[in-house]
Amino acid sequence: MTLRLATRRSPLALVQANRVRTLLSHCGVESELVLVETRGDRDATTDLSILGGQGVFAVEVQRAVLAHQADVAVHSAKDLPSITPEGLILASVPERLDASDVLVGRSLAGLGPGARVATGSPRRRALLLERRPDIEVVQLRGNMATRLARVGHDGVDAIITALAALDRLGEADLVSERLDPEWFTPQVGQGALALEARGDDPSTLAALKEINVAPALLAVTAERAYLEELGAGCAIPTGAHATVRDGLVTISGVMLDTDGVKSVRGEFSGADPFDLGRRLARYLRDDLGGGAFLAEV
């Protein structure tokens, strides 16, 4: 069996897809890449919240599998829409690296008043302004090479990005500071690879099960349940991060207003990742009043 893996064309996406190929090969499964261009790749300048947020880097990849042009959709889990399309299953999370965000260019303490930090994420913007309201946050889009090139140009002192992305590209030495996920809560699914397949394709599902990491899938499932309950995408300043130890899932989350002036946080633990994610979302949105922040976006 040769599995066809649908993936974006970006350098990071290709590294991730080839990592999946390597993992499959260890199980005796051959694979090949099917390259797909997404809406988010075609438009590398428009603010993601205007493009539609989550899904702009995933929908075309999912469609390739639904149309039987490929067998597996390979994603960064953070790019997935909160609801899986009918006909597909989130079949495997083969690995998850450190979910933390990082600063590249300068550390937080090294950024003086009025320093300019670039990010395209409303969550990162709000979390940074919550801790450092004296910093100016500017827009950032493009692939990783384009983003890294912004440091030191156009007055940009630093950028915020995912540590896992730099790790996969062999650029982790560029990190100026790892931002502690205890307060700088990561995006749902950050650091994880996510593999989708058709629900009526048992041979592919069986192959993907062989490379699944059960704790990683549990954690991502809890985080995605949180996002689905909110009905939110990456245009909303919110994040959630789950960990698994001895079968116990712990998920923490944050919701913020757009400028980080107000925020609500919470944490739950239990065995059912779906229930935990939904309970956390309802607690932050309804019990703590975070739903008011949604109306701002």
Residues assigned a catalytic role = 78-79, 123-124, 141, 147, 234
155-200 confidence digits (pLDDT tens):
999 999 999 999 999 999 999 999 999 999 999 999 999 999 999 9
Residues 223, 190: Cα–Cα separation, whole Å: 10
Say if CB 7 and CB 16 are below 8 A apart. Answer: yes
8-39 confidence digits (pLDDT tens):
999 999 999 999 999 999 999 999 999 998 76
Whole-number mean pLDDT of the chain?
93
CA angle 270, 285, 129 (to 5 degrees): 105
> What is the reported pLDDT for 1?
79
Residues 110, 154: Cα–Cα separation, whole Å: 18
Handedness of CA 224, 218, 160, 256 (dihedral sign): positive
> What is the reported pLDDT for 56?
72
Tokens of 87: 């006909």
What is the SS3 assignment for 284?
helix
Confidence at 46, pLDDT banded by 50, 70, 90: low
* Whether the predicted pLDDT of 293 surpasses 90: no
Q: Which of 11-15, 138-142, 231-235 has the highest mean pLDDT?
A: 11-15
Confidence at 272, pLDDT banded by 50, 70, 90: very high
Mean per-residue pLDDT, 209-224: 98
With a pLDDT cut of 70, the percent of the chain lying above it is 93
Looking at the domain 1-95+192-212, which fold is it?
D-Maltodextrin-Binding Protein; domain 2 (3.40.190)
Query: Structural domain boundaries of the chain?
Result: 1-95+192-212, 101-179, 213-297
Looking at the domain 213-297, which fold is it?
Double Stranded RNA Binding Domain (3.30.160)
Angle between helices 214-230 and 273-282 (to 10 degrees): 30
Mean per-residue pLDDT, 258-264: 95
81-107 confidence digits (pLDDT tens):
888 999 999 999 999 999 999 999 999
Residues 179, 199: Cα–Cα separation, whole Å: 38
Please name which of 193, 187, 161 lies closest in space to residue 174, comparing C-alpha atoms: 161
Please name which of 239, 194, 236, 241 lies closest in space to residue 219, comparing C-alpha atoms: 241
Residues 60, 35: Cα–Cα separation, whole Å: 10
The reply to whether domains 1-95+192-212 and 101-179 share a CATH topology is yes
Q: Where are the alpha helices (DSSP H) in the chain?
A: 11-26, 39-42, 48-51, 59-66, 122-131, 144-149, 163-168, 202-209, 214-230, 273-282, 291-294
> What is the reported pLDDT for 290?
93
> What is the reported pLDDT for 50?
47
Residues 133, 150: Cα–Cα separation, whole Å: 21
CATH architecture, domain 101-179: 3-Layer(aba) Sandwich (3.40)
State how beta strands 158-162 and 116-118 pair. Answer: parallel
Tokens of 246: 């001895």
